[in-house]
Structure 1
Amino acid sequence: MHELAPIVTALARYRARRNPLRRRLMRAAVAVILRESRQGTEVLVVERAQRPGDPWSGDMGLPGGRIDDCDAASASTAACRETAEETGLVLERSLGIGRLSDRLVPDHSRRRPMIVSPFVYRCPTEATITTNHEIAAWQWLALAWLDEPERRQRMLWRIGRLAKSMPCYDCGQGRKLWGLTLLMLDELRRVGHRQAHP
């Protein structure tokens, strides 16, 4: 079981990789929102609504989006703003407990890649989730559930004529957790595991 306190301690010492091109490329930010439950630490994941032209339509992911001019060049501000818009959760600076490594991903609307920066927060107390039109569904996943080897499956990711086998988790009702979100949560679990088992 993953407890939240060791994760907080581990993230305070963790040196996440920051992409040196992050000031030059298009950038997005996501919020990894954690809460404690009887199953240990849980993370909030959302299902993106189906939208024409959106390559991540229908995917399970983390709340967040592109960094806009209004974010004053702060990726964490963008993660908080997008989270409030998509889920109704207000993430204050005091709830921040660390960050994970930047990820370089294809930007399907441009030829240059995009950098996604994940920031980790505690869930606000007495929080109520109210989603907007960008989110089709949401759920809390226990990190311990992701630890169970039998939960990890494979799926075929198709893009054009290419089909590639990718690791994933079946979250029920046909929802698959995979790709970028899975990489981020794997990193979070590794960081917490090192603290709990030095």
Structure 2
Amino acid sequence: MTPDDSLLAALADALARRAHQEPACDPGLPRAAVAVLLRPGEQGLELLLIRRAEREGDPWSGHVALPGGREQAEDAGPAHTAARETHEEVAIDVRRDGRMVGALEPVWPQSSRAPRIVVRPFVFAIPAHARAVPNHEVHAAVWIPLRELLHRGAVTEHLLEIDGIEPMRFPAFDARGYVVWGLTHRILTTFLEVYGEVSGERVSG
């Protein structure tokens, strides 16, 4: 067993222990799922981020995000949704080439301006040779070492300006120029807390 395998096993145990902590959410809301994709890299485990394509009418147009999307009627469940959307968006087949490590608590937008939807994040481990090939919904994809997100230099703010409203500041990560904020920032903050507990890696720098 490699160090990464041991770390992923510990991560799976930690995520399983959190299962009872899930917050209650409106069962009538639409559902979506995203994938936290992890692969071994030169600096340890890496995470895949995507920048969504600019699309009119898409509330997350151009945002930095995790692969994923809305649950469809034919999906066997939210984990299937995350896997299907990942394959469609970046051509990585986690059901064939990877394995599910666990799930994080569902989240939903806090802003009244955002769509009412519940998003369930799933963590998958994939091989080092996995490559992301973006489709038309994805402008770019980048692998970020987890230790870079744990560096204090990655902590920043996102300034959101909306006509007629005082600009709002949101906590964010700067991942090699990709600014992660909103739902994705909340998901990754929770994930990094769990990862830090099992790896011993903490915010540094």
Identity %: 34
| Residue matched to 2:122 | 119
How far off its partner does 1:124 sit?
Answer: 4.3
Pairwise CA RMSD = 2.4
Q: TM-score, normalised by structure 2?
A: 0.83
Give a deviation string over 1:36-95, Cα, whole Å, max 9, x none. Answer: 1121111100000000011111111000000011114x1111111111100111111860
Give a deviation string over 1:17-51, Cα, whole Å, max 9, x none. Answer: 43433532111100110011121111100000000
| Residue matched to 2:140 | 137
How far off its partner does 1:125 sit?
Answer: 5.8
Name whichever of 160-169 and 9-18 sits farther off.
Answer: 9-18
Aligned in 2, Cα 1:150/1:126: closer, same or farther, shift over 3 Å? closer
Matches within 5 A, 1:26-105: 26-72=30-76, 74-92=77-95, 95-105=99-109
Is the contact made by 1:91 and 1:124 (CA closer than 8 Å) also made in structure 2?
A: no
How far off its partner does 1:107 sit?
Answer: 8.2
| Residue matched to 2:203 | none
Amino acid at match of 1:155: H
| Residue matched to 1:148 | 151
Aligned in 2, Cα 1:194/1:16: closer, same or farther, shift over 3 Å? farther
Aligned in 2, Cα 1:32/1:22: closer, same or farther, shift over 3 Å? farther
Is the contact made by 2:154 and 2:175 (CA closer than 8 Å) also made in structure 1?
A: no
Aligned in 2, Cα 1:17/1:48: closer, same or farther, shift over 3 Å? farther
Match of 2:195 among 176, 192, 196: 192
Amino acid at match of 2:95: E
Amino acid at match of 1:196: S
Amino acid at match of 1:146: L
Is the contact made by 1:89 and 1:124 (CA closer than 8 Å) also made in structure 2?
A: no
In structure 2, C-alpha distance between the alignment counterparts of 1:83 and 1:64, rounded to whole Å:
6
Q: Secondary structure in 1 aligned to 2:12?
A: helix
Amino acid at match of 1:134: E
Is the contact made by 1:16 and 1:99 (CA closer than 8 Å) also made in structure 2?
A: no
Is the contact made by 1:17 and 1:102 (CA closer than 8 Å) also made in structure 2?
A: no
Name whichever of 177-186 and 19-28 sits farther off.
Answer: 19-28
In structure 2, C-alpha distance between the alignment counterparts of 1:196 and 1:21, rounded to whole Å:
30
Q: Secondary structure in 2 aligned to 1:70?
A: coil
Give a deviation string over 1:122-145, Cα, whole Å, max 9, x none. Answer: 124642322110000000111111
Match of 1:159 among 149, 153, 162: 162
Is the contact made by 1:7 and 1:191 (CA closer than 8 Å) also made in structure 2?
A: yes
Q: TM-score, normalised by structure 1?
A: 0.86
How far off its partner does 1:108 sit?
Answer: 6.0
